[in-house]
Amino acid sequence: MQTYIVSIIVKTGHEDDVVRFYQDLEPQLREAPGFHGRQIFQARTGTMAAAVKKLYTAEELAKHAEPEHEDPGVQIIMIEQWDNVEERMLFSKNVAGGRQREIIPYLLPNHSHEFYTDCSVI
């Protein structure tokens, strides 16, 4: 089993468009040889920062100040399970690849996509 993880940052206001784009691929994914499942996660941008600001004093926060971002964007993470690398790559080439340019205008530069090994102890 191969785990493929995609992490993208979407321009604020376009997160629903990008999530819908990936959800619309579900029928083709279910039919793809070697595909076992996918989860899509959308960050609740600002939730962690708000929780930290509630928990720490102003002095504690000042020691670890972060610069403000013009548009921090919204992170979307997808985790897919495949039989092997080759079948995922064929899906990208034959189905998803041609449609990717539809969402490019909504993405910020930072993104990653790679196959991962599960190192969990549990």
Is 53 domain-assigned?
A: yes
Asked whether residue 95 is assigned to any structural domain, the reply reads: yes
Ranges assigned E (strand) in 1-122: 2-10, 35-42, 74-82, 107-116
The type of residue at 41 is F
Whether 122 is covered by a domain: the verdict is: no
Q: How many domains does the chain fold into?
A: 1
43 token code pair:
């960050």
- Is residue 4 a contact partner of residue 112, using CB atoms and an 8 Å limit? no
Question: What is the separation, in whole angstroms, between the first and last Cα of the chain?
Answer: 18
The domain in which residue 100 lies consists of: 2-116
Q: 59-106, pLDDT tens digit by residue?
A: 888 888 777 767 789 999 999 999 999 999 999 888 766 677 888 899
Give pLDDT tens digits for 8-38.
Answer: 999 999 999 999 999 999 999 999 999 999 9
Q: Residue 108: which CATH number?
A: 3.30.70.100
Asked whether residue 121 is assigned to any structural domain, the reply reads no
